[in-house]
Chains A and B, each alone.
Chain A
Amino acid sequence: MAQALLNVRIERKHFDAVTVLRNIDLHLDPQEIVSLLGPSGCGKSTLLRIAAGLERDFSGAVSRSEQGADVAFVFQEPRLMPWLTVAQNIGFSAGADYDAPWVRQLITEVGLDGFADALPKQLSGGMAQRVALARGLYSRPQVLLLDEPFSAVDAFTRMKLQDLLLQLAQHHGIALLLVTHDVDEALYLSDRVLVMGSQQPSSIRLGLDVPLGRPRDRRDAELGRLKGEALTELQLAHVI
């Protein structure tokens, strides 16, 4: 716990009279990949926004490691500035004097060579989300928080983007905290899966370890077995 990059402790988070989160304690170790899995409306996005510091109105605490781990956020939608080119969007946090060689490298890493000067309106959904990933990496974060980043793209694009995400996380040595409602995605990507229930107020119902090496094979029987196990536990926990 001491050397965890990110610690989030929430005693209570409420919107007006409704308590949405209660008694949550989660930590993220260096280079660890953790998924928050749960149905729509269970408060998992709120939890992620609290971890990102976008939501400050709650009782509890968010702490980062002593080195001050930099945290970046990737939204569910690409949220690119439509008036800026791909390169300008990636360097958006730095403004006009962004680090051009670093942006060029990121463009190559996310597979968008030749699109540096394209406008967002010329990109497909998957390409736009690649730009959003690169923008998240621009600040060289140690932790990347992702809010259902691939839920708006088709299944084939999603698989490619998942592999891209794993590759980027490994290459840059960053930890991922990912919100998803897709059991397969959670198991394929994560070291740990934290399951949240749908009853209000929600908290983390159970944690599943995924003790598999990488790279993983989506057809791996072990993944299938883990999915069966997860589904059983989800049922027992009355999540589904």
Chain B
Amino acid sequence: MTSKSKTLPLSTERSWKPAFDSAAWKRRAKGLVLPVVALLALEFVVRIGWVPPYQLPAPSDIALTLRDLAGGQLWNHIGASLLRVLSGFAIGAGLALLAAAWVGLSREAEAYLEPTFAGLRAIPSLAWVPLLLLWLGIDETSKVVLIAIGAFFPVYLNGVAAIRNIDRKLVEVGQMYGFSATQLARRILLPAALPGLFTGLRSGMSLAWMFLVAAELIAATKGLGYLLTDGRETSRPDIVLAAIIVLAVLGKVCDGVLAKLEQHFLAWRDAFTGNSAGPTEN
């Protein structure tokens, strides 16, 4: 019926694979090889006494520390950090999306706002820390604001780029139908900009975690950054490493949630997914 005779699958290609897919498990097993070997080597090196445990605790000791922490204060620390990250990210990303929509859609707004944002972006975000402490004190507000600043710029930059990269030809289809500005924004601009927006949200999220640690290292009485400081002050590298592991896991989980949302909303994308067959997992 058309030039291409191959039959096309009707379901989307990125549909969920069954849980036990041997190829996917093999891929995951490959990814585990390096960390497992490194952990075993570390354990060995510490156990035979090449490295003193007060400098580098054995992986098994770190696991024990984690278990002890989990029985005690760890959940409070995680709760405090998570609340800060999520509220800072929500505020920063929310404002950034508004600013990006405004600047992206209006040349006039771009002329007024873009130079200011470019200037503010040039300030290394950690330079705000003393000012925030002076203005907002050392309690929650200054931390949340710092995280919001960190999350703002990646979301804003990617958002503006996403809007400006929208295919003019698709916009013209809407103009041909006489769409109003709201219809155009909702039915063409937003879906077309979604891939870029997700890129921005994911990098904003990872920066939010970075700024959380910075904020908590400076002044905090709870939270994972506080746990890091506490471990250093009491000469407990196992606590420091345990906190790092928890941070890594939480960061990965947050990114994973965004990645799943991205996969769900952007299943329509006709993009390169890597050279090997099969869906890419990340």
Distance A104 CA – B175 CA, assembled complex (angstroms): 25
- List, in ascending order, chain B residues with CB within 8 A of A117's CB: 10
A223 is an interface residue with CB less than 8 A from chain B: no
- Closest CB in chain A relative to B255 CB, distance in Å: 23
Asked if B173 and A79 make an inter-chain contact with CB atoms under 8 angstroms apart, the answer reads: yes
- List, in ascending order, chain B residues with CB within 8 A of A119's CB: 12, 267-268
A4 is an interface residue with CB less than 8 A from chain B: no
Question: How many residues of B are counted as interface, with CB atoms below 8 angstroms from the partner's CB atoms?
Answer: 25
* Interface segment out of the listed B1-9, B27-35, B123-131, B223-231: B1-9
Q: Which of B4, B9, B173, B268 contacts A92 (CB 8 A)?
A: B173
Asked if A126 and B2 make an inter-chain contact with CB atoms under 8 angstroms apart, the answer reads: yes
Main secondary structure of the interface of A (DSSP, over half): loop
Closest A residue to B8 by beta carbon equals A122
Given contacts A81-B188, A122-B8, A123-B8, contact A73 B176 (CB under 8 A): yes
- List, in ascending order, chain A residues with CB within 8 A of B172's CB: 54, 75, 79
Q: Mark A121-148, 1 if CB is under 8 A from B, else 0.
A: 1111111001000000000000000000
Asked if B268 and A121 make an inter-chain contact with CB atoms under 8 angstroms apart, the answer reads: yes
A101-130: which residues lie under 8 A (CB-CB) from chain B? 111, 114-115, 117-127, 130
- List, in ascending order, chain A residues with CB within 8 A of B26's CB: none
Can you offer 21 A-B residue contacts whose CB atoms are under 8 A?
A52-B176, A75-B169, A81-B192, A82-B269, A83-B268, A84-B268, A95-B183, A95-B187, A118-B10, A119-B12, A119-B268, A121-B269, A122-B8, A123-B8, A124-B2, A125-B3, A127-B1, A127-B2, A127-B4, A153-B3, A154-B3
9 more contacts with CB within 8 A, not counting A120-B270, A121-B268, are A75-B173, A77-B169, A82-B270, A118-B10, A119-B267, A121-B270, A124-B8, A126-B4, A154-B3
User: CB within 8 Å of A: which residues of B?
Assistant: 1-4, 8-10, 12, 169-170, 172-173, 175-177, 183, 187-188, 191-192, 194, 267-270
